[in-house]
Amino acid sequence: MKRVCEKCGVEKEIEDFTEKKDCCQSRTHVCVSCTKKQRAKRYLKNKEKILKQAKDRYIENRESILKDANERYAKNVNGRRDKRIAYSKNNRERIRATSRKYWSKNKEKKAEKDKRYQEKNKVFLAGKKKEHYEKNRESYSEKGKERYVNKREVILAQNREYRVKNKDELDEKASVRSKARVENLEPVYIKQTIRGQTGLRNKEITQEMIEEKRELLLIHRKLKEIREWDHANKI
Ligand SMILES: [Zn+2]
Ligand 1 center–CA 49 separation, angstroms: 27
Model pLDDT for residues 29-76, shown as the tens digit of each residue:
999 999 999 999 998 999 899 889 988 988 999 999 889 888 888 888
Ligand 1 center–CA 45 separation, angstroms: 20
Q: What single DSSP character describes residue 99?
A: H
Domain boundary among 105, 121, 151: 105
Ligand 1 center–CA 10 separation, angstroms: 6
Instruction: Round to the nearest angstrom and report the end-to-end CA distance of the chain.
Output: 52
Ligand 1 center–CA 68 separation, angstroms: 35
Model pLDDT for residues 115-153, shown as the tens digit of each residue:
999 999 999 999 998 888 888 777 766 667 777 788 888
Which CA distances in Å does 225 have to 22, 49, 103, 117, 144? Answer: 40, 25, 33, 28, 56
Q: What pLDDT score does 141 carry?
A: 63
Is residue 49 situated within a structural domain?
A: no
Is residue 124 situated within a structural domain?
A: no
Domain boundary among 85, 105, 125: 105
- Residue 4 has φ and ψ, to the nearest 5°, of -95, 130
Is residue 59 situated within a structural domain?
A: no
Cβ atoms within 10 Å of 34's Cβ, excluding its own: 20
> Looking at the predicted structure, is the pLDDT value of residue 161 above 90?
yes
Domain boundary among 66, 89, 105: 105
* Distant-in-sequence, close-in-space partners of 177: CB < 8 Å, separation ≥ 6: 120, 123
Range(s) of the domain holding residue 98:
76-105
For the chain, percent of residues with pLDDT exceeding 90: 59
**Total domain count, the chain:** 2
Is residue 215 situated within a structural domain?
A: yes
Is residue 204 situated within a structural domain?
A: yes
Is residue 90 situated within a structural domain?
A: yes
Whole-prediction pTM: 0.33
